[in-house]
Structure 1
Amino acid sequence: MPIPVRRTRLTTWRSLATAAVAALLAAFLAPTAAHAAPRESTPVYSYENAIRESVWVDTGLDGDSDGRRDRVAVDIVRPRELARQGRKIPVIMDASPYYSCCGRGNESQRKTYDADGHVVQMPLFYDNYFVPRGYAFVGVDLAGTNRSDGCVDVGGRSDIQSAKAVVDWLNGRAKAYTTRTGASTAKATWTNGRTGMIGKSWDGTIANGVAATGVKGLKTIVPISAISSWYDYYFAQGAPLYDSGPDWLSDYVDSPDARAKCAAVQRKLVDEAPRTGDWTSLWTERDYVKDAAKVKASVFLVHGMQDLNVRAKNFGQWWDALARNGVERKIWLSQTGHVDPFDFRRATWADTLHRWFDHELLGYDNGIDDEPMADIERHPDQWATSAVWPPRATAAATLRPGTGPRAGVGTLGLHRKSGTETFTDNPRSSETDWAAHIDESTPDKAGFVTKPLARGLRLSGSSEVTVTATPTTSTAHLSAVLVDLGPDTIRNYAVSGEGITTLTDRTCWGPSTTGDSSCYKVTQANRADVDYTVLSRGWADLGNYASDQGVPLTPGRAYTITLDLAATDHIVPAGHRLALIVAGTDKDLIDPPSTTPTLTLDLARTSAHVPFVGGADAFARATAGSTPAPSASVLDGVRGPRAALRVPGESR
């Protein structure tokens, strides 16, 4: 269920503390004396002459079992002027496994080093942009990658502890050394310990995981396209999403040293992540949602609603858990797939991120906490804002499928219906095939459709679909998708680029050096004209109907299971129809079962719980056939839409 809680206003004591910090920082960080508290950090410090250094932080673990405590490599870029003056500064940190194996960003940048081992190129624009504004940027090699000791354990204790230890070191609670094996210690006397973590995909996942430890000193995280539970990266209620497990991913990023030492960790990643999709203790360790109550950092979350890599369930369940625990938060939702906001809304992203870090790490009262909670992309480069997300008027309506004039082409409404629909799993068919043939009787899906809407209908949050199905075989996988049936122009998320096209011109975001350019290729929206839009989806193994441990099915017996559908925010316009499709294997998105079942749905015991702004009443009005209402009733406090300034992409 969506939890529409506003970004929490801080308690009185924290507001006073923030004001005090802002006053101190105004005195210490401003390049000239100021009579009023600053509202924005400015680029007054030299990037070219910045201090570039490396330390190795003791994680307290021996993941590679070599008899020595693992040390993780930490590359630092910070303003030399502030170091000379003894001024303590905050940290922006990206902990990543990708710095040497694969690269970061749309242009796959890797760390590079000079002859002394000091970082020359730090991937992405963060150091170029923020170091001149009085921040330190810290790039951490996760355990088992690049220049770090230990083993990659794909979101487990080693991954999280190797990043958390750096936050501890920045706050004086852990040891670091000037070399990987030496005894000379390094202290972080140059920082005030206030740390913000940022990153996309695995990097953002680490930010989620570290925040879920409640570590002191971590003030904010900015997870982009990030995982909140690793089980939900690999499985959907027992249905496998990929034909490989975490051992493959670990091997992909391991350093040569880790490959030589980490066979035991690799074996655990195989043995404790069975392809059956059963929940094990390995997944419990990698479930950050369960620890959301420990999160003290604010969260600025960014996700593509069409991300089919880190699927949108990951952000939806994390957001709801943060809301239940009163975490201060903000969200951007794009129409892209697995894409960084720097590559779909560049200028606005840099400005917003700048103000977010200024507020959260420098304590500047710049008003960002009073702005709308959510930015939502409605059409390519057209954005709307929502004061809270999901809006306060959002409530789940229970939609009921019914039989129609032809088999497999049914109705969707508020009233319980009887009857059955039957389909046969076809692993060669996908959700787009089903949607394209929604008005046809096809053997591989059961479709249920509303009448054309009389007014727009906004879905906001996560849905559930409860299915009662009788299989003919001992295994069966299920897919449930919600579809907006009607013409539209969307980002083409299903092709390379996942909604963006990379051009040749570049824009620059801070000063550059010979070895580290701040200039990146511009991108633009890759648009597609469509007749339908899949707006939410979910999958399950019917054998998981009773628990997170799958069992063989008894052919001819009816089973009831509830599928979790991904969070979204979508307006189905007047004149369009809303469809629910229930089918078997969703080609390329889940793996097929070991048999080819035919399933019969009991429609009286099948339903969809969908969060509409306005709830069931809004659905009833939209499907009643009356005169279309103004769009304001759909938007419910949403401004917009407005055009974005720029757009670009990233592959990982």
Structure 2
Amino acid sequence: MGHHRTALRTTAVGAVSATLVAGGVLGLAPTAQAATSGIRFVDIRSADGTVLKANVVTPADTDGTGRHPLIVFPTSWSFPQVEYLAQARRLADSGYIVLTYNVRGFWQSGGEIEVAGPPDVADASTVVDWALAHTAADPRSIGIGGVSYGAGISLLAAAHDPRIKAVAALSGWADLTGSIYSGRTEHVQAAALLDATGTVTGRHSAETRRAFDDFYSADLSKEQDLIAWGKKRSPGTYLDQLNDNGAAVMLANTWGDTIFPPNQYADFYEKLTGPKRLAFRPGDHATAELTGLFGLPNDVWTDTVRWFDHYLRGVDNGIDREQPVRIKSRSTSGYEGYPDWKSVTATTRKVNLAGTTTIRANVNSGADGGIVFLSSILDQIARLPPVASIPLLPRRWAAVWQSQTYARTQQVRGTARLHTTVTPTEESGTLVAYLYDVGPLGLGKLVTNAPYTFHGRTPGEPFGVDLELFSTAYAVPAGHRLALVVDTVDPLYIEHNPTGARLTFSSPPNDPSYVSIPLREQ
């Protein structure tokens, strides 16, 4: 495992350069215009003495006699404090005071990386305190938002600080454990990327370093500690507090987010009781909002500004009367509106998984979820998801079931669910399920996937598996079919299959196996 982890870190470091280049460009362009944009670079001292590097952008008409709504932006993981300056200037031009700060442990800010732990949550409130004391910020109109790491911290801060009235959480998480450890399976490429970029741009705390190392080790004895560590850092843990505080919450993410998959945001959204909005678009982690950080036109940031305008400034822009759930399919260009998440997945159809199939473990069959970031970005830009030749997948290592050929285009909307019976030859194991759109020549385009790991099972004894695949929106063209493929190895995840293990999938008469797919005809 040590060699495996080193290789993953090396790969992930390659992705660091893209992050740093983006951060550098974001840093240079806005700073060059600082003289005309009301930007001040300031130090904010946290409750424990840690110095946070921040910048304040104020409206041009601030004369000390009036109050302005305040928006706080904690930075994304590994990004510098100037990340949001393009959007901050836009917001300041319309009357906001905007304070963006480098989260502790990164770049010039002091302290160590706590992964949205209690010190990070306390820092967000300290930043609000500072703004109220040193700017013309209105204490009755306070918003917070951010991308990725900044989104998670924003949700946690809103749950702990009732002064926050509006949140825009872009590409964030509600359940940290459910994001990078879904199906009890370590999402190793995602973790390695975060680890590598954090190592280059910041300083891990001892607790953070231990959490990463325990995660890589895949040591079952560490599982409960990791779950507790993640739970403390999950907005879902504090859902009741967030609902009691009544902040208006906007959540936005992408279908292909390989760091924080969309399912946990959708589940969290359904449990919010205050004003809320949920949007999903094509792309990978934080790619949907990236162009907006450069000041370019961007749907996510347009929604964010409208959200803050309505709930902090009282602008009657109609956002509260629109369908609160908005999705854009990976196959089309328009948006669809729904009254709630349940309505997205209202129509489902089952594909029966008949028969008994045995596969061997430890070998990648050729079906996999792609590469963190790269694969979903290709899907976003060129509609080129990971592909596999379904007829050529070796049945020795992959179980394959296919639907009938569809006479009309089928719209996949929401969450597919697998139900099957598995009989293992070992007490532990990992399986990965993939749903493919298969054309007439047998080439399958990946629609969605998800991993599943089990421990403590009796060899030779069957047990039921229920697995949610990652939510998506995709069009299956007329003349195509859907295929469910299950194998045991995927580079995105750590596998737990002992050498020589086998898995048998069956469909007992009293408990048939199936995959339930949210489908409707176009």
* Structure 2 partner of 1:559: 463
Q: Distance in 1 between matches of 2:171 and 2:398?
A: 30
Q: Distance in 2 between matches of 1:486 and 1:91?
A: 52
* Structure 2 partner of 1:519: none
Alignment match of 1:610 (pick from 506, 516, 521): 516
* Structure 2 partner of 1:365: 316
1:433-461: CA deviations, max 9, x gaps?
Answer: 99634345621111111111233433333
Q: Distance in 1 between matches of 2:50 and 2:75?
A: 16
Q: Distance in 2 between matches of 1:236 and 1:263?
A: 24
Superposed displacement of residue 264, structure 1: 5.9
* Structure 2 partner of 1:447: 400
Alignment match of 1:541 (pick from 446, 453, 474): 453
Q: Distance in 1 between matches of 2:99 and 2:467?
A: 40
1:534-555: CA deviations, max 9, x gaps?
Answer: 2222111121xxxxxxx3x433
| Residue 485, structure 1, aligned to residue 423, structure 2 | no
Seq. identity, %: 22
Aligned ranges 1:6-21 → 2 under 5 Å:
none
* Structure 1 partner of 2:218: 275
Please tell me the residue identity of whatever aligns with 2:333.
Q
Determine if contact 2:180/2:259 at 8 Å carries over to the other structure: no
Please tell me the residue identity of whatever aligns with 1:79.
P
Alignment match of 1:356 (pick from 298, 304, 307): 307
* Segment drifting more, 447-456 vs 48-57: 48-57
* Structure 1 partner of 2:151: 204
Aligned ranges 1:115-194 → 2 under 5 Å:
123-170=84-131, 186-194=133-141
Q: Distance in 2 between matches of 1:323 and 1:376?
A: 15
Change (3 A) 1:469 1:379: closer
Determine if contact 2:326/2:336 at 8 Å carries over to the other structure: yes
Mind listing any 5+ residue stretches in structure 2 that lack a counterpart? Answer: 1-33, 370-385
Change (3 A) 1:575 1:245: closer
Superposed displacement of residue 428, structure 1: 3.0
Change (3 A) 1:348 1:202: closer
Determine if contact 1:154/1:246 at 8 Å carries over to the other structure: no
Q: Distance in 2 between matches of 1:212 and 1:246?
A: 28
Superposed displacement of residue 562, structure 1: 2.1
Q: Greater helix percent: which structure?
A: 2
Superposed displacement of residue 466, structure 1: 2.7
| Residue 324, structure 1, aligned to residue 248, structure 2 | no
Aligned ranges 1:252-331 → 2 under 5 Å:
252=199, 255=202, 262-263=205-206, 266-267=209-210, 270=213, 275-276=218-219, 278-280=223-225, 281-295=228-242, 296-310=246-260, 312=261, 315-331=262-278
Determine if contact 2:280/2:326 at 8 Å carries over to the other structure: yes
| Residue 341, structure 1, aligned to residue 341, structure 2 | no
Rg: which structure is higher? 1
Change (3 A) 1:212 1:535: farther
| C-alpha RMSD over aligned residues | 3.4
1:285-340: CA deviations, max 9, x gaps?
Answer: 12322322332322222222122233x2xx32233233233232223322212213
| Residue 428, structure 1, aligned to residue 364, structure 2 | yes
Superposed displacement of residue 274, structure 1: 5.9
Q: Distance in 2 between matches of 1:347 and 1:266?
A: 36
* Structure 2 partner of 1:510: none
Determine if contact 2:389/2:444 at 8 Å carries over to the other structure: no
1:399-425: CA deviations, max 9, x gaps?
Answer: 35344xxxxxxxxxxxxxxx3111112
The one of the two structures with greater contact order (alpha-carbon pairs below 8 A, sep at least 6) is 1
Q: How many residues align?
A: 458
1:41-72: CA deviations, max 9, x gaps?
Answer: xxxxx97151514241433xx4xxxxxx4453
Q: Distance in 2 between matches of 1:334 and 1:166?
A: 31
2:36 aligned counterpart, secondary structure: coil
| Residue 88, structure 1, aligned to residue 49, structure 2 | no
Determine if contact 1:292/1:322 at 8 Å carries over to the other structure: no
Please tell me the residue identity of whatever aligns with 2:104.
A
Please tell me the residue identity of whatever aligns with 2:390.
I
Q: Distance in 2 between matches of 1:449 and 1:563?
A: 18
Superposed displacement of residue 588, structure 1: 3.4
Superposed displacement of residue 194, structure 1: 2.2
Superposed displacement of residue 599, structure 1: 0.6
Superposed displacement of residue 354, structure 1: 2.8
Superposed displacement of residue 88, structure 1: 1.0
Superposed displacement of residue 531, structure 1: 4.4
1:189-210: CA deviations, max 9, x gaps?
Answer: 4333523322222222222322
Change (3 A) 1:249 1:81: same
| Residue 458, structure 1, aligned to residue 408, structure 2 | no
Change (3 A) 1:353 1:251: closer
Change (3 A) 1:124 1:395: same
Please tell me the residue identity of whatever aligns with 1:386.
G
Q: Distance in 2 between matches of 1:152 and 1:608?
A: 44
Q: Distance in 1 between matches of 2:110 and 2:400?
A: 53
* Structure 1 partner of 2:172: 226
Superposed displacement of residue 364, structure 1: 0.4
Question: How does the TM-score come out when normalised to structure 1?
Answer: 0.62
Determine if contact 2:37/2:57 at 8 Å carries over to the other structure: no
